[in-house]
Amino acid sequence: GAGVSQTPSNKVTEKGKYVELRCDPISGHTALYWYRQSLGQGPEFLIYFQGTGAADDSGLPNDRFFAVRPEGSVSTLKIQRTERGDSAVYLCASNLMENTGELFFGEGSRLTVL
Amino acid sequence: SQKIEQNSEALNIQEGKTATLTCNYTNYSPAYLQWYRQDPGRGPVFLLLIRENEKEKRKERLKVTFDTTLKQSLFHITASQPADSATYLCAYMNTGFQKLVFGTGTRLLVSP
């Protein structure tokens, strides 16, 4: 596709459940980012991939959060034992590292933990 | 640590006026600053980038300035239109060029 695609667009789950959020970046973009955005706040950095490896995962809040990008394209953000505080919009972005860092964002996955 | 601050209060202006949004940073000057627009329920969309050694950058009705003395970037929309109503986010790339750090954003409302 032409842009960054994220699925699902909405996910409602119960506390304690496991959730996977998927991101399909723009074709050819080597860098992929996950951000989390709460209401009234700016996007908060979670993790950055360069190719298949996580170059910076310093934003992951705890070990319940994990992300993979096994083939250097699609990425999955995994959240174990979800808590109500995990409710937010999870944004994915990609870019070409040759440029100055302009990020192309998807529309986000809205996660609600009941 | 570096912090980036935007006015959390919404800015209300009348159509046709110039909107000016402020982004302040606390410590070192970032290599460059970026501005994004975000509409409700949508992902941010890149608008403009300005480098540390650039004073001003323009794109159509948009203008961004970068004042390293004041540690501030200003974002201007001239001849504002109701369609400009959105949240505008300021962001800087950290020194390792590995992550973009965002401010909280400022909501702009342009009334007809």
Min Cα distance A56 → chain B (Å) is 7
Chain A residues with CB-CB distance to B46 below 8 A: 102-104
**Chain B residue numbers touching A59 (CB-CB < 8 A):** 99
Domains of chain B: 4-111 (2.60.40.10)
Q: Residues of B numbered 38-77 whose beta carbons fall under 8 angstroms of chain A's beta carbons: which are they? A: 41-46, 49
End-to-end CA distance of chain B: give it in Å, rounded: 41
Q: Do the Cβ atoms of A42 and B45 come within 8 Å?
A: no
Residue in the block written with tokens 């050694």: B53
pLDDT at residue B95 in the model: 65
Question: Are the CB atoms for B20 and B75 separated by under 8 Å?
Answer: yes
Cα B77 to Cα B35: distance, rounded to the nearest angstrom:
12
Mean pLDDT of chain B: 91
How confident is the model at residue B24, as a pLDDT? 94
| Residue A88 forms contact with B (CB below 8 Å) | no
**In the predicted structure, residue B11 carries a pLDDT above the cut 60:** yes
Is the domain A5-113 a CATH 2.60.40.10 member? yes
Predicted pLDDT at B96: 66
B69 to chain A nearest CA, in Å? 23
Q: Where are the domains of chain A?
A: 5-113
Task: Supply the pLDDT for residue A99.
Answer: 56
Report the residue of chain B nearest A31, measured CA to CA. B98
CB contact under 8 A, A103 and B45: no
Q: Which of A43, A101, A108 sits opposite B97 (nearest CB)?
A: A101
Q: Which residues of A touch B35 (CB under 8 A)?
A: none
Q: Give residue B78's pLDDT band: very low, low, confident or very high (50, 70, 90).
A: very high
The answer to whether B49 touches B93, Cβ cutoff 8 Å, is no
Using CB atoms, pick whichever of A4, A101, A106 lies closest to residue B100.
A101
What does the alpha-carbon distance between residue B5 and residue B86 come to, in Å, rounded to a whole number?
18
Digit-coded pLDDT (tens) for B34-57: 999 999 999 999 999 998 888 899
- How would you write the pLDDT of chain A (114 residues) with one tens digit per residue? 589 999 999 999 999 999 999 999 999 899 999 999 999 999 999 999 988 988 889 999 999 999 999 999 999 999 999 999 999 999 999 988 655 678 999 999 999 999
Q: Where would I find the beta strands (DSSP E) of A2-43? A: 5-7, 10-13, 19-24, 31-37
What pLDDT does B29 receive?
A: 75
Mean pLDDT of B77-106: 90
Q: How far is A18 from chain B (nearest CA, A)?
A: 24
For A108, which of B43, B45, B101 is closest by C-beta distance?
B43
